[in-house]
Structure 1
């Protein structure tokens, strides 16, 4: 595998997109389409575990490369730093799986007051840890997207388009006084709106 700024940036963007996709698949307690399901949560934990392994492989591949390029240290740092939020998301989903298992085991006790309180607490825990997973996955994706831009800056065409779009529009002038706007409006329009 050849490591160059463009291929490294593309690898980081692809990984960031995968984290975004995982965030989109997070269960939503009480949601009609994405309510927490033990199998789906376990599958997502497994997929995140594979992504963590892939992050480690990306770091290892570049760390053992004898012909490192100047940008390689930034790529290694970015992939390595993403392991932490990916692990936090996987751990949060592990807590969701634990709470789902508890709810399943206590289903037959749901009408008893003590069990009802414990079951409600389990749902609150799931809400909290799913929020943690969402934040962690967003952090992982955002950091990789940002890092990819530093490794492989935008193309010359994109830079030119950006410079044209920011300088082509004239700067807005001062706003006229509020009374001047009302005076400038046609009188028949004002009368119709009343």
Structure 2
């Protein structure tokens, strides 16, 4: 298992994108006539379970494979921090699935006043749970995106900029001897992309 910063950043970014994708699959709350499908919600719970397992695997593999006496990597911290909001999202979707099952089970009783009230309450619970899932998935994705940026190794341009010394403009820089023409022709050229 590699533990270099670039590989860690890419793994964290890929996981963040998975959470963004899960968030994009959430049903939109608030429309009582367009409840989410119970099969779609069950699939999303299953997919979130797989994501939670992947988070656990990332933490486990990085923890087991670290060198003796070395500190825990920022990637371990990032992956483990995402477990809580991922679990909250899965739990909220579990609540949605439970309320959808209740609505399906009581469909034939929708004309009874007491059942009507309970069914309306179930709709409100579904909306609240979808909002909770959305917030939790956004939190997981945002924290992972921020972590991937923090873990990423600095670009070659940034390293070059940090390596230069800053000298005030009004200070005269010592003159450097001119290089012979043959030396400048052989010197490697730096190509900068935009």
Instruction: Give, in whole Å, the separation in 2 of the partners of 1:133 and 1:75.
Output: 24
Is the aligned partner of 1:16 residue 2:16?
A: yes
CA RMSD of aligned residues (A): 2.5
Task: Give the TM-score, by structure 2 length.
Answer: 0.75
After TM superposition, the structure 1 stretch with the greater mean CA deviation from structure 2, 42-51 or 71-80, is 71-80
Seen in structure 2, the aligned counterparts of structure 1 residues 43 and 68 have a Cα distance that, compared at 3 Å, is farther
Give the match's secondary structure for 1:43: helix
1:71-125 alpha-carbon deviations (Å, 9 max, x no partner): 8521111100100000000000000000000000000011111111100000000
Q: Deviations over 1:105-148 (max 9, x none)?
A: 00001111111110000000000010000000000000001111
- Note if contact 2:29-2:131 (Cα within 8 Å) is conserved in structure 1: no
- 2:27 aligned counterpart, secondary structure: coil
Within 1, Cα distance between the matches of 2:7 and 2:24? 26
How far apart, CA to CA, are the structure 1 residues paired with 2:157 and 2:70? 24
- Is the Cα contact below 8 Å between 1:109 and 1:115 reproduced in 2? yes
How do 1:17-166 and structure 2 match up within 5 A? 17-29=17-29, 35-67=35-67, 72-157=72-157
Contact 2:30 2:127 in 1 (8 A): no
After TM superposition, give the deviation of residue 30 of structure 1 in Å.
Answer: 5.8
Taking the TM superposition and a 5 Å limit, the aligned residue runs for 1:175-194 are: none
Unaligned runs of 5+ in 1: 161-194
Shift in alpha-carbon separation, 1:65–1:44, aligned structure 2, 3 A: same
Q: Hey, which of these two has a bigger chunk of helix by percent?
A: 1
